[in-house]
Structure 1
């Protein structure tokens, strides 16, 4: 998370997982310093740009959960970037995201897709 902090970016992970499952993931994945929200309601997941919902295919998964997404929210609380996944793989790499943020800042590149 230091690459984000040095750019003044707060990183928050939010999940439909229970508190217990979120804490277990945080410990298992050794992600100290990351704020993790949990118990995201299904209705809110649907409101957030239509996060894709999946049903469990193994006993290691919750009965219903949202697939991964990344949102960059500007200080004025408007959406700048969204990557909403239908699968738990092929997500943007963090290094690529950092490079993109630097490009946007250096070039004053505007958000797109609002036409």
Structure 2
């Protein structure tokens, strides 16, 4: 588990658009938001990332840089972007199980049509100095933070310079 106010691991991941994304190279005004999704097999992820697509400009306007990542292959991640119609969401792929564990994420063994193993969802808000501000980690596809609620909360957090909590 990564505690708030502590440095996060660096992360480099390939994006479906052919670019490479590195956390330590991000320079957002307020936060980098990393959303870890289960993969193309997950209908809840589809809904969540379609909601993210709808609010990408809202996050940008609040000084938040966004990326969505999964353990999916390039082919599956590319198909997700196309089929889910999320062209404005930067999507990374091949997030390794080992690296996911360093971020404190849960790993599941697949059932039915799921991959053999995959990473369960997580959301991280990271300050420009790469310290963790907030995280939400799930063991299931549901119970994720509402992106609309998060947008509203960011107004308060930024306006009041509200500190990260949970560090004790």
TM-score (norm 2): 0.65
1:87 to 140, 147, 155: 140
Structure with more contact order per residue of length (Cα contacts < 8 Å, sep ≥ 6): 2
Cross-structure match for 1:4:
59
CA distance in 2, matches of 1:25, 1:56: 18
State the Cα distance separating 1:30 from its structure 2 match.
0.8
Question: C-alpha deviations, 1:5-55, integer Å up to 9, x for none?
Answer: 11121110111111111111111211111111110111100000x201011
Paired position in structure 1 for 2:111:
57
What value does the CA root-mean-square deviation take over the aligned residues?
A: 0.9
User: Is 1:41 aligned to residue 93 of structure 2?
Assistant: no
SS in 2 for 1:57: coil
- In structure 2, stretches of 5+ residues that fail to align are 1-55
TM-score normalised by the chain length of structure 1: 0.94
**In the alignment, which residue of structure 2 is the partner of 1:108?**
161
- Asked whether 1:31 is paired with 2:86, we answer yes
Distance 1:103 1:58 in 2: 43
For structure 1, the 5+ residue unaligned runs are none
SS of equivalent residue, structure 1 residue 11: strand
The structure 1 segments of at least 4 consecutive aligned residues displaced by more than 6 Å after TM superposition are none
Distance in 2, matches of 1:5 and 1:112, equals 23
Partner Cα separation in structure 1 for residue 162 and residue 63 of structure 2: 18
